[in-house]
Amino acid sequence: MSAPAIAAQLVVSDLSVEIAGQRGVVRPVDGVSFTVAPGEAVGLVGESGSGKSMTLKAILGVLPPEAKVTAGNVVLDGTDLTGLSNSRLNKVRGRRIAMIFQEPMSALNPVMRVGNQIAEGPRVHLGMSRAQSVRRALELMRRVGIPDPERRFRAFPHEFSGGMRQRVMIAIALSSDPELILCDEPTTALDVTIQDQILRLLAQLCRESGTSLVFVTHDLPVVAQICHQVAVMYAGRIVERGTVSKVFRSPLHPYTLGLLRSAPDVDQPGQSLVPIPGSPPSLLSPPSGCRFHPRCKFAEEDCKVSDPPLRLLDAGRSTACLHYERCLDEMGADA
Amino acid sequence: MTAQPLLEATGVEVSFSVGSPLAGRLRGVQHVLHAVDGVDLTVHRGEALALVGESGSGKSTFARALVGIERPKRGQIKLDGKVLPARRSRADQRRIQMVFQDPYSSLNPRLTVGGTLHELLRVHRVVPRGEVESRARELLRLVGLDEGAVNAYPRQFSGGQRQRVAIARAIALRPELLVADEPVSALDVSVQATILNLLEELRADLGLTLLFISHNLAVVRHLCDRVAVMYLGRIIEVAPTEALFRDPRHPYTAGLLAAIPRMTPGDSGEAPAVRGDPPSPLRLPTGCRFRTRCPMAQQICAEQDPALAESPEDPGHSAACHFAWTTQTANATEAV
């Protein structure tokens, strides 16, 4: 058993992704910057179309063919991944960065035995012999809580339940001791009791091995459960960033505030739901100035004109709102 | 409760044959999956009753049996005191309507919204012919859509708007019971809130009775008056919403509640709220079906299948656990 790798720091700076379509160029990721400290779990949240999954795919270099990184870079422990050739990148993917997808059934090979899929990484990336890699796979299966690994080793993915398949995905992700695991809605398709098992498992394994985590989800309580830091995305941009406890307790962007107010909190029955008016903008012609201003009740003239960058406030918190104090006033008025 | 319940289901069973029927016939075996396995449920007029459970618990199949999409193998469904026959008259069909999770596949893509509503209103003769047009517009207003929506096709709407159309379609027939199967699960949170608020408004304005099927317990706590929890084809607990969340008596309910991700995570340690996977519905455990995952299972649980029993103190609260009303330990998984 090799010692856990020393976690790297991931630095994403000013990352932009463009897709050229028939009706023009859209930028689903538009100048996104964030960092992940060793052993840290960072949540990327937002609604459909906010660019959170696309950001994840850009980090790993697995964008769909029509999408391209047009600006910015992704630096993993000193290596700029955006500059790497595909063959060099293949040495990083699966080895130093692993990914867990929402739908394990479509991410796993349906005609390969589960155990062999887990053993493949150690053989290819860590140069283990066949026997070593099988031992490693069995041990990983035990670690992720797959009962009776010796027998289940020879099973195929379709013989597993959804939760067990996601455990297999986690075992594969962990198999080469990666520094960073990217998770794209890994528990969204699971039942709540199974989601609870998988979240606890992920948190425990990352704590033990010091692996960093980037966790994409639309589910705020899931972020609260597993992440230390959170970045809120809207229309391709990060609009707010900070520690989970602070951002969720006192949001400094009206979009974050809107998300918190529109989802019922199981611990606050009787609270009324306030939807965010309007709908997200078309990325073909995003609004001028702040992209959220047409839906924002705090919007003023300056919001329509100037496009506010994400700026750092005190205590490691950032917001892209010109009038973020209004959020504080609003939360204060409620309390 | 002395008032006549709106709906009373007793001993409802729905089963499916699974596996290849030909291969089964040749080998002389047939697997039968009891998706709904003896469900009793009462819905009172004007209430919002939640049916919760995980995938495979039978909640959707049961709902489809109520609406008449599935035909129960056993049991009866009474509406307003009268048994609904297996083959329902058009008038009976009108009385229970359903909203589905995915509004795109439940609306006719080739009909405008106006076309869909006009057809319904005419076929079921809900209003005189001359009023069909104005009633359709009124329905759209009720669900918060522009009157211009009459001429649009389903694909021209966003997910939330489409769900509004599906709701307009369902309430067009003035049903006594609206069954909503995961109506907000496919929607983004900000849109989800608008649909939940709409359902609340409609309940208040039209006095709708709502059977709300969901796996999202936060949404259920927000919207519903009572909750029924299903596990592997059975209802294992029924209670008023607050009683259920405050004092769950079935260990599965307790585990389900403990598994909800919270906005302010109390440090709950590494032990999951409920261990293991649900067993295959084709090979159910003997006795209590939850015992294979239950932290408090005893010998009796493997031998006897517990019936849904009312609380001695609170007749509105029932649970199907041998220990529901004898010990205080349904919450044990949380307390440890």
- Ordered DSSP codes for B227-245: EEEEETTEEEEEEEHHHHH
Contact state of A191 with B274 under an 8 Å Cβ cutoff? no
Average pLDDT over residues A197-206: 90
Model confidence at A171, pLDDT cuts 50, 70, 90, reads very high
Residue-wise pLDDT for B268-279, tens only, equals 566 788 988 888
Contact state of A161 with B241 under an 8 Å Cβ cutoff? no
Q: What is the Cα–Cα distance from B96 to A166, expressed in whole angstroms?
A: 39
Most B-contacting residue of A158, A273, A279, A296 (CB-CB within 10 A), to test interface = A273
Most A-contacting residue of B188, B225, B227, B280 (CB-CB within 10 A), to test interface = B188
Taking 60 as the threshold, does the pLDDT of residue A42 lie above it?
yes
> According to the model, what pLDDT value does residue A332 have?
75
Q: What is the Cα–Cα distance from B244 to A268, expressed in whole angstroms?
A: 15
Instruction: Nearest chain B residue to A204 by CA: give it.
Output: B270
- Residues 228 through 247 of chain B touching chain A, CB cutoff 8 Å: 241-242, 245
Task: Chain A: give the shortest CA distance to residue B299, in Å.
Answer: 24
Model confidence at A6, pLDDT cuts 50, 70, 90, reads very low
> According to the model, what pLDDT value does residue A128 have?
95
Q: What is the Cα–Cα distance from A230 to A245, expressed in whole angstroms?
A: 9
Q: Which of A47, A200, A261 sits opposite B272 (nearest CB)?
A: A200
Model confidence at A7, pLDDT cuts 50, 70, 90, reads very low
Average pLDDT over residues B215-223: 95
Task: Chain B: give the shortest CA distance to residue A147, in Å.
Answer: 10
Q: What is the Cα–Cα distance from B242 to B209, expressed in whole angstroms?
A: 19
Q: Which residue, chain included where needed, has tokens 């010990």? A: B327
Q: Which residues of chain A have a CB within 8 Å of the CB of B218?
A: 221, 263-266
Query: Whose CA is closest to B185, among B146, B141, B218?
Result: B218
Q: Which of B160, B221, B270 sits opposite A200 (nearest CB)?
A: B270
Task: For B285, list phi and psi in degrees, rounded to 5.
Answer: -65, 155
Model confidence at B334, pLDDT cuts 50, 70, 90, reads very low
Average pLDDT over residues B233-261: 96
Q: Which of B55, B218, B261 sits opposite A264 (nearest CB)?
A: B218
Q: Which residue, chain included where needed, has tokens 């008596």? A: B249
Contact state of B222 with A273 under an 8 Å Cβ cutoff? yes
Model confidence at B254, pLDDT cuts 50, 70, 90, reads very high
Question: Which positions ≥6 away from A37 have C-beta within 8 Å?
Answer: A9, A212
Q: Which of B55, B190, B258 sits opposite A259 (nearest CB)?
A: B190
Residue-wise pLDDT for B4-34, tens only, equals 899 999 999 999 887 666 666 677 666 788 8
> According to the model, what pLDDT value does residue B77 have?
96
> According to the model, what pLDDT value does residue B66 have?
95
Q: Worst-scoring range by mean pLDDT, A107-121, A229-243, A266-280, B211-225?
A: A266-280
Instruction: Nearest chain A residue to B195 by CA: give it.
Output: A275
Model confidence at B2, pLDDT cuts 50, 70, 90, reads low
Average pLDDT over residues B286-298: 94
Taking 60 as the threshold, does the pLDDT of residue A311 lie above it?
yes
Asked if B125 has any chain A CB less than 8 Å from its own CB, the reply is: no
> According to the model, what pLDDT value does residue B95 have?
94
B42: how many CB neighbours lie within 10 A of its CB?
A: 17
Residue-wise pLDDT for A263-276, tens only, equals 999 999 888 999 99
Model confidence at A190, pLDDT cuts 50, 70, 90, reads confident
Q: Which of A224, A263, A266 sits opposite B221 (nearest CB)?
A: A266
Asked if B261 has any chain A CB less than 8 Å from its own CB, the reply is: yes
Instruction: Nearest chain B residue to A145 by CA: give it.
Output: B276
Asked if A168 has any chain B CB less than 8 Å from its own CB, the reply is: no
Asked if B146 has any chain A CB less than 8 Å from its own CB, the reply is: no
Model confidence at B55, pLDDT cuts 50, 70, 90, reads confident
Domain boundaries, chain A: 10-96+176-334, 105-175
Average pLDDT, chain B: 89
Asked if B277 has any chain A CB less than 8 Å from its own CB, the reply is: yes
Taking 80 as the threshold, does the pLDDT of residue A280 lie above it?
yes
Average pLDDT, chain A: 91
Task: Chain B: give the shortest CA distance to residue A55, in Å.
Answer: 19
CATH number of A10-96+176-334: 3.40.50.300
Taking 80 as the threshold, does the pLDDT of residue B47 lie above it?
yes
Average pLDDT over residues A304-324: 91
- Which structure tokens are listed for A153? 């080793």
Task: Chain A: give the shortest CA distance to residue B290, in Å.
Answer: 13
Taking 90 as the threshold, does the pLDDT of residue A180 lie above it?
yes
Helix (H, G, I), strand (E, B) or coil at B43: strand
Helix-strand-coil percent breakdown of chain B, rounded to 5?
Answer: 40, 20, 40
Model confidence at B326, pLDDT cuts 50, 70, 90, reads confident
Contact state of A269 with B189 under an 8 Å Cβ cutoff? no
> According to the model, what pLDDT value does residue B211 have?
97
> According to the model, what pLDDT value does residue A181 have?
95
Asked if A218 has any chain B CB less than 8 Å from its own CB, the reply is: yes
Model confidence at B103, pLDDT cuts 50, 70, 90, reads confident
Contact state of A264 with B191 under an 8 Å Cβ cutoff? no
Q: Which of A261, A264, A275 sits opposite B222 (nearest CB)?
A: A264
- pTM score, two decimals? 0.89
> According to the model, what pLDDT value does residue B23 have?
65
Task: Chain A: give the shortest CA distance to residue B184, in Å.
Answer: 11
